[in-house]
Amino acid sequence: MFSTVKDDMSIESTLISKERKNAKFPVEELTNVWDGGKEETELRRKIVKLFEDDPVLKSPPICTMTREERFTKATRKSAYIYRNLIPNNGLHPGSREFEHFSRAMPIENNLLVHMIAFIPCIKSFGSQEQVAKWLPLALNLNIIGAYAQTELGHGSFLRGIETEATFDKKTQEFVINCPKVSSMKWWPGDMGLNANHALVMANLIIDGKEYGMHAFIVQIRDLSTHMPLPGVTVGDIGSKMGFEAIDNGFLYMKNVRIPRENLLNKNSEVKPDGTYVKKASDRLMYGSMVNLRVNLPKSQAIDVLAKACTIAIRYSAVRRQGLLNPGGAEVAVLDYTLQQHKLIPQLATVYATKFAGEGIIKKHQAFLQNMAKGNISDLAEIHALSASFKASVSEQCTEGVEVCRRACGGHGYSQASGLPFLLCKITPSCTYEGENTVLYLQTARYLVKCASKQAADLPESIAFLVQPIQDMKGSITSLDNLIICFKNSAALCVQGVSKKVNEMSNKGLAMHEVWNKSSVQLVKSAKMYVMQYIIGAFVSFVTEVKCSEPIKEILQDLCCLYGLHYINTHSGEFLKLGVLSAHHCTLAEETEIQLLEKLRPNAVGIVDAFDFTDSSMESCLGAYDGNVYERLFDMAKLSPLNKEKVHQESYRHLRPFLLEGRDILEGVKSKN
Ligand SMILES: CCCCCCCCCCCCCCCCCCCCCCCCCC(=O)SCCNC(=O)CCNC(=O)[C@H](O)C(C)(C)COP(=O)(O)OP(=O)(O)OC[C@H]1O[C@@H](n2cnc3c(N)ncnc32)[C@H](O)[C@@H]1OP(=O)(O)O
Ligand SMILES: Cc1cc2nc3c(=O)[nH]c(=O)nc-3n(C[C@H](O)[C@H](O)[C@H](O)COP(=O)(O)OP(=O)(O)OC[C@H]3O[C@@H](n4cnc5c(N)ncnc54)[C@H](O)[C@@H]3O)c2cc1C
């Protein structure tokens, strides 16, 4: 319908090629470092290619589809992927293979909660017999499960959950009930339309006594008709800010009966006579959430920011607007220091959080191995670290994606840029898997307890909180000094708020009031604690990684930039704590600006090294060839509103005015 408009040679493509020629490091080697080795890059590319070459997985750009089409296509593709492309024994969150598959997944998919929450819960809460029964069914997609914890009335405060599972000795069943409207399960992904089972978190009641939250497998739909079972009311909660392809659902249960064996009973059991047997700590009930907080940030936040950086930096390298030299040619907006100041620190965030996250995954895997041997002594530490890490990463990456979107000017507002999709995908990561504020408070609770102990009684990674403040020797901008600066700040924040808590409680104020009145400083201390962890982990990675000098230099510069950018945006905190002087802050700012200038020529190369394929981004601004304007026009042509030259509804409603206008103009014409 539209004629083609093409330039003979796109200036933008030429510009981006020049950027690549100017890069001062081997891009492929940085890709290998990012992936964890050359072999891993090869394996990831193989998996990505397998998915991208598969004709079943092709579909129109998401910004041209309705929600219904997006849900339908995602379900068709996900079912196909699960049965044909995923290894038979599933994928283990935290493994490299899991990461590679997550990179290969189509831009929209669903059934993932089944994979990342339902299956892991069967494994961690089920007895051997239960795992043997449910796991093969779940792996084969013979049963599809949601993770049904949150209710309409309660998400954060799990002790307030209202859904009940009452043991009926006569029939040896649990009777599941949502006593009020606010008790219905609300939000679980894949639950509204696709799931036929749910892992329901409910308050266990035996002979009128409450035993707290337990995990039950509840069948919600018939396996042959897919109709909701008697007593079950289930559906989609409606459209949200994003997640269009996912049927986040509601589930209301009235007298739904399940066999006694459907209580996942590795950690606690109900005997036929109603005796309750506790086999392990109640805290392990929360283990599924630790698992997700450790393993989701990479795919749900860090990769999302990496894509947003790729789009914004490639676009900024070809978008020319305004003059730097009076009388000279228009410059790429990436040449403005202010544009570099927006975008390059986001790249540093991607690297810092990715490598720090790998450290947490390793710690968590060690914890799981110990737990298998009955040792859960590290649970509190891993909970505190993973809670604040999830909160900090989701917060930093969400802010970063919005910075990238705005840095693309008007085109960043267009769905065709791919950036609004990324923003809507990443924003809920600040809420799901534990609302961020609530998680920071959990970390602070642990830190305040630690602050009253001796260093020798604390885990190695926490002992610095109660040890003497360290001196910085030499420039604030050295990596060693950055670590000291963040450690000192975290220790002083935690000690400061602990002092406040103690003073208030010594004056006789009730603990819950003390806590509420200290919560602003508690959250600050948890943020500083996790920042010192991230910086420390990134510095260790940069120091230890085996790579060529140019790559090492880039990583060191990104690491230093990450620390300095944080200091420069929060300098008041560092000054208030007395960790830095005004002179330090001035130096930190100048050094950040120098680093931006130094990294600028490599910016396109650094985002190329993430190695995202064009189809994994669906972005007219971020495609590899830099051909932004033609792509934007081609995408606009696909808008469903452009199907006809005359849109019937606009014609119908506006025609009377137009006819009036025509008559007036013709009258004027005839008068003249
Ligand atoms: C098929 C095809 C395709 C397949 C393809 C596969 C292919 C490929 C694979 C590729 C995959 C692709 C990638 C994946 C993509 C995924 C996309 C999915 C989209 C997004 C999914 C989104 C999912 C989102 C899911 C969700 O959102 S699920 C809901 C999450 N909801 C929460 O997270 C509630 C927060 N609330 C709380 O966590 C608690 O409620 C509360 C605040 C602690 C209570 O606080 P309080 O009341 O104080 O607590 P108490 O109970 O008294 O306990 C207090 C005592 O316990 C302690 N302690 C509290 N915690 C814990 C804890 N953890 N662990 C240990 N201890 C704990 C605490 O330290 C204290 O110890 P003490 O100091 O006493 O010693
Ligand atoms: C896209 C998406 C997918 C989801 N998927 C699932 C799923 O698969 N399964 C599932 O069970 N759930 C799921 N959820 C639900 C999610 O886990 C909850 O929304 C989340 O845990 C937050 O709980 P809430 O909504 O009750 O928030 P609230 O706790 O009501 O938060 C509201 C405000 O109150 C504040 N607040 C709450 N408690 C405190 C406190 N103690 N101190 C200070 N401030 C406080 C919060 O900081 C926040 O500002 C999903 C949610 C989303 C958005």
Q: Which domains does the chain have, with CATH numbers?
A: 144-280 (2.40.110.10), 477-608 (1.20.140.10)
Q: Is 379 in the pocket of ligand 1 (CB under 6 A)?
A: yes
Q: Look at ligand 1, atom 36, and give the residue with the nearest C-alpha.
A: 156
Q: Is 96 in the pocket of ligand 1 (CB under 6 A)?
A: no
Q: Is 432 in the pocket of ligand 2 (CB under 6 A)?
A: yes
**Ligand 1 center to residue 235 CA distance, Å?**
23
**Ligand 1 center to residue 188 CA distance, Å?**
13
- Which of 241, 285, 435, 437 for a ligand 2 pocket mutation test, highest count of atoms within 8 Å of Cβ? 435
Residues contacting residue 496 through CB under 8 Å, at least 6 positions apart: 521, 525, 577
pLDDT at 579 over 70: yes
**Ligand 2 center to residue 250 CA distance, Å?**
15
Residue 400 · residue 305 · CB < 8 Å? yes
pLDDT of residue 343: 98
Cα dihedral: 129, 134, 137, 140 (round 10):
-100
409 known ligand binder: no
Residues contacting residue 395 through CB under 8 Å, at least 6 positions apart: 430, 436
CA–CA distance, 536 with 486 (Å, rounded to integer):
9
pLDDT at 29 over 80: yes
Neighbours of 659 (CB within 10 A): 10
Residues contacting residue 497 through CB under 8 Å, at least 6 positions apart: 444, 448, 518, 521, 522, 524, 525
Residues contacting residue 21 through CB under 8 Å, at least 6 positions apart: none
Rg (CA), the chain: 28
pLDDT at 6 over 80: no
- Residue 669: which pLDDT band, with cuts at 50, 70 and 90? confident
Region 25-53: mean pLDDT is 97
pLDDT at 206 over 90: yes
- Residue 226: which pLDDT band, with cuts at 50, 70 and 90? very high
Q: Mean pLDDT lowest for which of 95-99, 146-150, 223-227, 308-312?
A: 95-99
**Ligand 2 center to residue 185 CA distance, Å?**
13
Edge-to-edge order in the sheet of strand 232-236: 185-186, 249-253, 232-236
Residue with tokens 């020797």: 473
Our CA angle for 587, 590, 595, nearest 5°, is 120
- Residue 3: burial class (beta carbons within 10 Å; 0-12, 13-18, 19+): exposed
**Ligand 2 center to residue 432 CA distance, Å?**
6
Q: Is 422 helix (H, G, I), strand (E, B) or coil?
A: helix
Ligand nearest to the CA of 151: 2
β-strand partners of 323: 330
CA–CA distance, 267 with 275 (Å, rounded to integer):
14
Distance of CA 658 to the CA centre of its chain: 49
pLDDT at 281 over 90: no
Ligand nearest to the CA of 182: 2
pLDDT of residue 501: 97
pLDDT of residue 9: 62
Buried b (16+ CB within 10 A) or exposed e, 531-557: bbbbbbbbbebbeeeebeeebbbbbeb
pLDDT at 413 over 70: yes
Residue 645 · residue 1 · CB < 8 Å? yes
Q: Is 101 in the pocket of ligand 1 (CB under 6 A)?
A: yes
> What tokens were used for 642?
């452009």
Residue 502 · residue 455 · CB < 8 Å? no
> What tokens were used for 205?
């009641």
pLDDT of residue 3: 66
**Ligand 2 center to residue 610 CA distance, Å?**
32
pLDDT of residue 7: 65
Average confidence score pLDDT of the chain: 95
pLDDT of residue 88: 82
Ligand 1 atom closest to Cα of 286? 63
**Ligand 2 center to residue 94 CA distance, Å?**
24
CA–CA distance, 128 with 141 (Å, rounded to integer):
20
- Which of 56, 98, 201, 283 for a ligand 1 pocket mutation test, highest count of atoms within 8 Å of Cβ? 283
CA–CA distance, 638 with 635 (Å, rounded to integer):
5
Q: What is the pLDDT of residues 334-361, one digit of tens each?
A: 999 999 999 999 999 999 999 999 999 9
Q: Kindly report the three-state secondary structure assignment for every residue of 236-270.
A: ECCCCCCCCCCCCEEEEECCEEEEHHHECCCCEEE
**Ligand 1 center to residue 97 CA distance, Å?**
23
Phi, psi of 104 (to 5 degrees): -85, -20
**DSSP-derived secondary structure letter, 151:** B
Neighbours of 128 (CB within 10 A): 8
Ligand nearest to the CA of 286: 1
CA–CA distance, 346 with 407 (Å, rounded to integer):
12
- What ipTM is given for this predicted complex? 0.96
Q: Is 13 in the pocket of ligand 2 (CB under 6 A)?
A: no
150 known ligand binder: yes
Ligand 2 atom closest to Cα of 117? 8
- Residue 10: which pLDDT band, with cuts at 50, 70 and 90? confident
Q: Look at ligand 2, atom 49, and give the residue with the nearest C-alpha.
A: 437
CA–CA distance, 293 with 565 (Å, rounded to integer):
25
Q: Is 149 in the pocket of ligand 2 (CB under 6 A)?
A: yes
Ligand 2 atom closest to Cα of 189? 8
Closest Cα to residue 166, out of 122, 208, 205? 205
Q: Is 126 in the pocket of ligand 1 (CB under 6 A)?
A: no
Closest Cα to residue 615, out of 244, 105, 246, 243? 105
Using a pLDDT cut of 70, give the percent of the chain over it: 99
Q: Is 85 in the pocket of ligand 1 (CB under 6 A)?
A: no
Residue 603 · residue 344 · CB < 8 Å? yes
- Residue 92: which pLDDT band, with cuts at 50, 70 and 90? confident
CA–CA distance, 207 with 201 (Å, rounded to integer):
19
The model's pTM: 0.96
Helices and strands of the chain, counted as H and E runs: 22, 13
Our CA angle for 435, 437, 440, nearest 5°, is 110
Q: Is 205 helix (H, G, I), strand (E, B) or coil?
A: strand
Ligand 2 atom closest to Cα of 437? 47
Q: What is the pLDDT of residues 461-476, one digit of tens each?
A: 999 999 999 999 889 8
Q: Look at ligand 1, atom 26, and give the residue with the nearest C-alpha.
A: 433
Residues contacting residue 172 through CB under 8 Å, at least 6 positions apart: 259, 260, 272
Residues contacting residue 447 through CB under 8 Å, at least 6 positions apart: 384, 462, 465, 494, 498, 525, 526, 529
- Residue 4: which pLDDT band, with cuts at 50, 70 and 90? low
Q: Mean pLDDT lowest for which of 4-18, 116-130, 407-421?
A: 4-18
Using a pLDDT cut of 90, give the percent of the chain over it: 90
pLDDT at 280 over 90: no
Q: Is 249 in the pocket of ligand 2 (CB under 6 A)?
A: no
CA–CA distance, 638 with 665 (Å, rounded to integer):
34
pLDDT of residue 94: 85
Q: Is 302 in the pocket of ligand 1 (CB under 6 A)?
A: no
pLDDT at 494 over 80: yes
Q: Is 156 in the pocket of ligand 1 (CB under 6 A)?
A: yes
pLDDT at 5 over 80: no
Ligand 2 atom closest to Cα of 191? 8
Ligand nearest to the CA of 78: 1
Ligand 2 atom closest to Cα of 240? 1
Q: What is the pLDDT of residues 417-432, one digit of tens each?
A: 999 999 999 999 999 9
**DSSP-derived secondary structure letter, 413:** G
Higher pLDDT, 365 or 91: 365
**Ligand 1 center to residue 370 CA distance, Å?**
20
Q: Mean pLDDT lowest for which of 21-25, 214-218, 398-402, 515-519?
A: 21-25
Catalytic residues: 433
Our CA angle for 423, 425, 426, nearest 5°, is 65
Ligand 1 atom closest to Cα of 147? 28
Q: Is 436 in the pocket of ligand 2 (CB under 6 A)?
A: no
